Structure 1
Amino acid sequence: MILSASKADLRAQALARRASLSAEAVAAFAPFLAETGLAFAKSHFAESPLPASHEVDLVGAYWAIGAEAATMPLLCALDDAGFSVALPVTGPRGTPLTFRRWRPGDILVKGRMGIAEPPVTAAVVEPGLLFVPLAAADREGNRIGYGAGYYDLTLASFRESQRVIAVGVCFSCQILDRVPAEAHDQKLDYLLTEEGVTPCASLSASG
């Protein structure tokens, strides 16, 4: 997937801001993310009960890389609270992510992008709540990822068959005034930063 120059520039700008954060600021976000993300998941599933055919509340998250805030505390908090957690498995370019169940302590393997992910033996699921990584976003819910388009394809696929809530996780310095949106781009419903959770304008617009 080829990004336009404006998107590429905005991504670089936001990632540079993130890279300038202190190690203390990055480390402090991890426990806050765990506490706030867990509270959001509890509230979400309390307000949006699943059909009786669903045995557990499924939450999709991701394995943090680089300068992203660590997600392991969030994954552990969700698991401890009884949620079923899933991590993404990356396939060929141009295909959606596959989410497979995972629990802290389960084996992880190196995936196509060099990111840890569950093995092919783990069960495939479609979470109704996704915590989504990003490079940049705006408060309208527009998101810039890392360039491969996997999450746009995944959200589009999930939204064809079910209601899914996408929570973009980032530092507040990655939120820009405006992110250009193209026809294939999928909007976020909420943003979760070190300042808390805020709904995106796209949520109210979608009803």
Structure 2
Amino acid sequence: MTRTVADLKAELRRDALARRKTAGHELRTRLTQRLLHEGLRLARLWRPTVVSGFHPIRGEPDVLVLLAALVEQGFEVALPVVVGRETHLDFRRWRPGEPTAIGPMGIPEPLDTSPVVDPDLLFTPLACFDRRGWRVGYGAGYYDRSLARLRAMKTIHAVGVAYGVCEVAVVPYEAHDQLLDAVVTEQETIFVSER
């Protein structure tokens, strides 16, 4: 029986999420602090109009601390909103402390009254990644479709946020998959030089 790319990704996802569950408090704190430092540095480097993050679930790194610091530095920030299956995400302006509603995927999202924006710096969740900039998400394809849509409009930067234990040697990829520009872990920032 031949395994498909989807099968390989599912196996990588399952194994990486199991490793991520082992991340203790010290490791989580280290990544939060590193992400705060590196996220501000990358925002100053790339000078985005809008920065998007994500509301952490299932042991994901806490990006909300970075979003709060970005707001303090004068950046506009946003969170993703699921608008339907098999489509891209919308991103709605949001500031830490503002109300959210639980979206269709069970994740807090900005209210419908918040304006839709098109971020040019995106801090993205992932299950695992490799040093070439490929990522495996949760399998629904929302970020791949969203990055493709935004890249067709303008120059953007996508930064994966992950614990080092989520790194794998090789992520198999398909034509619709989108590369990251960098990955921030608790130990380092990996820049992807080739597109």
Fold in common (TM above 0.5): yes
Q: Deviations over 1:22-72 (max 9, x none)?
A: 122113321221122111111111xxxx7xxxxxx2111111112112122
* 1:195 alignment counterpart: 187
* 1:102 alignment counterpart: 94
Moved over 2 A (4+): none
Match of 1:142 among 134, 154, 176: 134
* d(CA) in 1 for partners of 2:174, 2:37: 33
Residue 161 (str. 1) matches residue 153 (str. 2): yes
SS in 1 for 2:149: helix
Match of 2:69 among 72, 77, 85: 77
* d(CA) in 2 for partners of 1:130, 1:179: 20
- RMSD of Structure 2 on Structure 1 (CA): 1.5
TM-score normalised by the chain length of structure 2 = 0.94
**Aligned residues with identical type, % of pairs:** 44
Number of residue pairs the alignment of both structures matches:
192
SS in 2 for 1:205: coil
* 1:4 alignment counterpart: 6
* 2:40 alignment counterpart: 38
Change (3 A) 1:3 1:147: farther
Contact 2:5–2:172 (8 Å) recurs in 1? no
Relative CO higher for 1 or 2, CA cutoff 8 Å, sep ≥ 6? 2
Q: Deviations over 1:125-153 (max 9, x none)?
A: 10111000000111111110011110000
Change (3 A) 1:58 1:71: same
**Pairwise CA distance, 1:3:** 6.9
Paired residue type of 2:79 = L
* d(CA) in 1 for partners of 2:188, 2:43: 14
Paired residue type of 1:6 = L
Contact 2:36–2:66 (8 Å) recurs in 1? yes
TM-score normalised by the chain length of structure 1 = 0.89
User: Could you list the runs of 5+ residues in structure 2 that have no partner in the other structure?
Assistant: none
Residue 86 (str. 1) matches residue 78 (str. 2): yes
SS in 1 for 2:69: helix
SS in 1 for 2:13: helix
Match of 2:24 among 22, 25, 32: 22
* d(CA) in 2 for partners of 1:114, 1:20: 23
* d(CA) in 1 for partners of 2:128, 2:194: 21
SS in 2 for 1:8: helix
**Pairwise CA distance, 1:196:** 2.5
Residue 68 (str. 1) matches residue 60 (str. 2): yes
**Pairwise CA distance, 1:104:** 1.6
Contact 1:36–1:196 (8 Å) recurs in 2? no
Q: Deviations over 1:88-146 (max 9, x none)?
A: 00121111000010112211111110100101110111011100000011111111001
